[in-house]
Structures are given as C-alpha cells and as structure tokens.
Structure 1
Amino acid sequence: MTLARALPNDATGWWIFLGTFALYAAARWFFAWRQARREGDEHPVRAAFAEEDDPRPAVTGGFRSYRQFFGFVGSAVVVVLVAGLTDGRLRVALLWSLVPVLVAALAYLDFRQARKARSRAL
C-alpha cells in the first residue's frame, strides 16, 4: 500500500491538478467562443463567458449522457493503463501528451451536450 496516495505530497502534484482544471476550463471557453463567433455574435467573448449549462438534473448520475460517462471512464482507463504499464521517461512523455488531449476531448463532449440542451430549449 505504499503506492496508494489520495493527494499529492508536493507542490508539483498540486500544480498538475490545478493545470488540468485550468485546461478544461480554457478548452470549454474556447469551444463556446468559437461557436458564438460562428453564429455571428457581436461579442463572442462575452457570449462565451455568459454560457450556462442546463440546470435540469442529469439522468446518468453526475453525467448528462452516456457519452460523457463512457468518455470519462475511457479516459481514466487510458491514464491508468499508461501509468501502470510504462515507466520513467516514456510514462512522463505519454501522460504529458495524452492527458491534455483527453481533458480537451471531455471539455468538447460537455460543450456539445450543453449546446444540444440550449438548442432544445429554444
């Protein structure tokens, strides 16, 4: 049980966690900005920051669709497999390249789900 940890013990681990959340927020904002710009909004930045999710409760636990759920689970499985089956520089290189892509993909799934909910409400 020496490898099991709940939270990082050093500042680098915390910065990685915070960076992951910041990357998710930036990707979600970028997708909203791009959509507002594509729709011809006069102020796409304001529209991106004013974006709100559907306040209705989710059907699948904390996820709004099965795609989101399976995307999250699949991403977690990929990260665990890479972390468990690799070592050293290869592990670092794979995690530093895969995790940002997976986080951006999850942000895109969330954005698409929110966009569908808004279009149904109109």
Structure 2
Amino acid sequence: MTPAHSLPDSATEWWIYLGAFALYVLTRLVLAWRQAHHDGADHPVRAAFAEEEPEESNTSVALGSFRSYRQLAGFVGGAVAIVLVATLTHGVLRLLLMCTVAPLIVMALAYLDFRLARTARQRAARSFGGGRRGI
C-alpha cells in the first residue's frame, strides 16, 4: 500500500501546475484586452487589468461554484480528456498530447469563463442603466 500524495513531489510538477495557472491568467488578460480594444477604450491594457467579474445574486447551489452547466461540463470534460490522455498513452505520444491538448483545454476554459463574465457584465450594465439613452 502506498500513501496518497497531497502535493507534488518534484519541482517539475510544480512548474506544470504554475504554467497551467499562468496560461489561464494570460488567456483571460488577452481576451479582456481584445474586448477593451474592440470597445474603443483609451487604454485597453489598463482596462484588461481592471476587469472585475460582477457578483451574481442568483447563483444556483446545485452547480457549486460554477455559473452554468456549460462551465461545469467544460471543466469535467476537460478533466476527463486529460486523464484519458495521461492513462491511455505512453512515452513521446503522451508528452506530445499533453503539450497540445492540456493547454488547449485550459485556454478553452478561460474563454468560457471570459464569455460568462462578459455576459454578466452586460446584463448588469443594462439593468443598472435602465435602458436610458441619450442623457
């Protein structure tokens, strides 16, 4: 019987986890910058760093910390895909797939989170503005 590992044992594993987190953050920043640039912000980089997700008061308890079923399905599907690649492949094929599939999944999840946050911000702006134009 072997004990369960709670934290990575080697520095390489830590770098992999930090790299996945950094890729997620970088993807979110690039998406926020593109959105700010598209919206005509004077300083799109500042707008990307100042982006905040609005609080949602009607989050469902059944979804936990996920905002939608798409987000939950994306997370579970991504985890299943990575586990399948890691368990069903070996050697160079595993390395190749993990270096391509895992980053694509992380970027797709960042894009999905960005879209959900953008939709929530637009909904909050519409309800806050009350639909008044031309003031």
Range of TM-score over shorter length: over 0.9
Count how many residue pairs are aligned between Structure 1 and Structure 2.
Answer: 122
Amino acid at match of 1:6: S
Note the alpha carbon deviations across 1:6-48, whole angstroms, 9 max, x for none.
Answer: 3221101001100100000000010000000011111100110
User: Unaligned 5+ residue runs, structure 1?
Assistant: none
Match of 1:26? 26
User: Unaligned 5+ residue runs, structure 2?
Assistant: 126-135
Match of 2:98? 95
Q: In the TM superposition, what are the counterparts of 1:35-74 in structure 2 within 5 Å?
A: 35-56=35-56, 58-59=59-60, 60-74=63-77
Match of 1:8? 8
Distance in 1 (alpha carbons) for counterparts of 2:11 and 2:19: 12
Percent of pairs identical after alignment?
59
Distance in 2 (alpha carbons) for counterparts of 1:6 and 1:100: 23
Match of 2:132? none
2:82 to 71, 79, 89: 79
Distance in 1 (alpha carbons) for counterparts of 2:30 and 2:66: 21
Structure whose CA Rg is larger: 2
- C-alpha displacement of 1:2: 4.8
Amino acid at match of 1:11: A
TM-score normalised over the length of structure 1 = 0.94
